[in-house]
Structure 1
Amino acid sequence: ADALLRTLRDELGGTAGAAAKLDTRTGAVEVLATDGDPELVTGWHEDEPASTGTARLGSGHLIVRRWGPFDAEHSRVELDDAASSAAAAIDATRVRDMERTLAVRLQRTLLALDVTTPGIVVAARYRAADEPLRVGGDWYDAIALPNGRVGVVAGDVVGHGVAAAVVMAQLRSALASAALQATTPCAALATLDRFVTRTPGAACSTVAYAVVDPTRCVVEYCLAGHPPPLLIEPDGSARLLDDGRRILLLTHQPSVAAESATAEFVHGSTLILYTDGLVERRDEPLDDGFNRLVRAATFHAALPTGALCDALVQTLAGDRDRTDDIAIVALRLVASTPTIHVDTFASAKDQFAPARDRLRTWLDRIGAPEATAADIVLATNEAWTNAAAHGNQWRSERLVRVEAGLSHGTVVVAVSDSGQWRPPVSVNTEEQRNRGHAIMATLADDVTTEPDDRGTTVTLRFSL
Structure 2
Amino acid sequence: MNASGIDYAAVFQALPGAVLLLTPEFEIADANEALLRRAGRERHQLIGRVLFDVFPDNPGDPDATGTRNLRASLERVLATGAPDTMALQRYDVEAPGRPGVFEERYWSPVNAPVLDADGRVRLIVHRVEEVTGIVRAAAGDRDGDRQRMAAELYTRAQELQGANERLRRAHAREQEVALALQEAMLPAPPPVGHHRAAVRYRPATGALHVCGDWYDLAELSGDRMAVAVGDVVGHGLSAACVMGQLRSALSAAARVVVGPARALEVLGIYARSVDGAESTTAVQTVVDWTTHTITYSSAGHPPPALLHTDGTVELLDRATDPPLGARPEHVDRPEARVAFDEGAVLVLYTDGLIERRREDIDVGLGRLTAALTRHRAADAESLADALLAELLPPGGATDDAALVIVRL
* Class of the TM-score when normalised by the shorter of the 2 chains: 0.5 to 0.7
Q: Output the TM-score relative to the length of structure 2.
A: 0.62
- Alignment-derived partner of residue 156 in structure 1: 231
- Over 3 Å counting, the alpha-carbon distance change for 1:39 and 1:293 in structure 2 is farther
Instruction: State the percentage of identical aligned residues.
Output: 36
Q: Which has the higher mean CA deviation after the structures are superposed, 287-296 or 171-180?
A: 287-296
1:250 and 2:324 correspond: yes
- Over 3 Å counting, the alpha-carbon distance change for 1:293 and 1:189 in structure 2 is same
| Alignment partner of 1:119 out of 189, 194, 199 | 194
- Alignment-derived partner of residue 175 in structure 2: 100
Q: Shift of the alpha carbon at 1:21?
A: 5.1
- Whole-Å Cα distance in 2 between the matches of residues 110 and 280 of structure 1? 24
- Whole-Å Cα distance in 2 between the matches of residues 249 and 130 of structure 1? 26
Name the SS of the counterpart of 2:310 in structure 1: coil
Contact (CA 8 Å) 2:93, 2:103: kept in 1 or not? Answer: no
- Alignment-derived partner of residue 345 in structure 2: 270
- Alignment-derived partner of residue 253 in structure 2: 178
- Alignment-derived partner of residue 221 in structure 1: 296
- Over 3 Å counting, the alpha-carbon distance change for 1:177 and 1:38 in structure 2 is farther
- Alignment-derived partner of residue 204 in structure 1: 279
Q: Output the TM-score relative to the length of structure 1.
A: 0.55
* Number of residue pairs matched by the alignment: 302
5+ residue gaps, structure 1, are 1-6, 25-30, 54-65, 68-73, 334-464
Q: Shift of the alpha carbon at 1:12?
A: 6.8
Q: Which whole-Å deviations, capped at 9, do the CAs of 1:219-239 have from their partners, x for residues lacking one?
A: 111111222111112333322
- Whole-Å Cα distance in 2 between the matches of residues 40 and 137 of structure 1? 45
1:317 and 2:392 correspond: yes
Q: Which whole-Å deviations, capped at 9, do the CAs of 1:245-265 have from their partners, x for residues lacking one?
A: 323321153443244222223
- Over 3 Å counting, the alpha-carbon distance change for 1:196 and 1:82 in structure 2 is closer
Q: Shift of the alpha carbon at 1:188?
A: 0.5
1:110 and 2:185 correspond: yes
Q: Which whole-Å deviations, capped at 9, do the CAs of 1:395-421 have from their partners, x for residues lacking one?
A: xxxxxxxxxxxxxxxxxxxxxxxxxxx
Contact (CA 8 Å) 1:247, 1:256: kept in 2 or not? Answer: no
Name the SS of the counterpart of 1:329 in structure 2: strand
Name the SS of the counterpart of 1:120 in structure 2: coil
- Whole-Å Cα distance in 2 between the matches of residues 217 and 82 of structure 1? 67
Question: Aligned AA for 1:191?
Answer: V
- Whole-Å Cα distance in 2 between the matches of residues 20 and 312 of structure 1? 44
- Alignment-derived partner of residue 355 in structure 2: 280
Q: Shift of the alpha carbon at 1:198?
A: 1.1
- Whole-Å Cα distance in 1 between the matches of residues 255 and 103 of structure 2? 65
- Whole-Å Cα distance in 1 between the matches of residues 360 and 67 of structure 2? 50
Name the SS of the counterpart of 2:229 in structure 1: strand
Q: Which whole-Å deviations, capped at 9, do the CAs of 1:188-207 have from their partners, x for residues lacking one?
A: 01111111111222122211
Question: Aligned AA for 1:312?
Answer: L
| Alignment partner of 1:33 out of 93, 98, 102 | 93
- Alignment-derived partner of residue 382 in structure 2: 307
Q: Shift of the alpha carbon at 1:87?
A: 4.5
Contact (CA 8 Å) 1:247, 1:255: kept in 2 or not? Answer: no
Q: Shift of the alpha carbon at 1:19?
A: 5.6
Q: How does 1:227-246 map to 2 (within 5 A)?
A: 227-242=302-317, 244-246=318-320
Q: Which whole-Å deviations, capped at 9, do the CAs of 1:66-92 have from their partners, x for residues lacking one?
A: 98xxxxxx9x99998777556434432
- Whole-Å Cα distance in 2 between the matches of residues 171 and 224 of structure 1? 13
- Whole-Å Cα distance in 1 between the matches of residues 208 and 296 of structure 2? 33
Contact (CA 8 Å) 1:224, 1:247: kept in 2 or not? Answer: yes
- Alignment-derived partner of residue 139 in structure 1: 214
Q: Shift of the alpha carbon at 1:179?
A: 0.9
Name the SS of the counterpart of 2:222 in structure 1: helix
- Whole-Å Cα distance in 1 between the matches of residues 169 and 287 of structure 2? 45
Question: Aligned AA for 2:257?
Answer: A
Q: Shift of the alpha carbon at 1:109?
A: 1.5
- Over 3 Å counting, the alpha-carbon distance change for 1:95 and 1:286 in structure 2 is closer
- Whole-Å Cα distance in 2 between the matches of residues 147 and 247 of structure 1? 28
- Whole-Å Cα distance in 1 between the matches of residues 164 and 255 of structure 2? 48
Q: Shift of the alpha carbon at 1:106?
A: 0.7
Name the SS of the counterpart of 2:226 in structure 1: strand
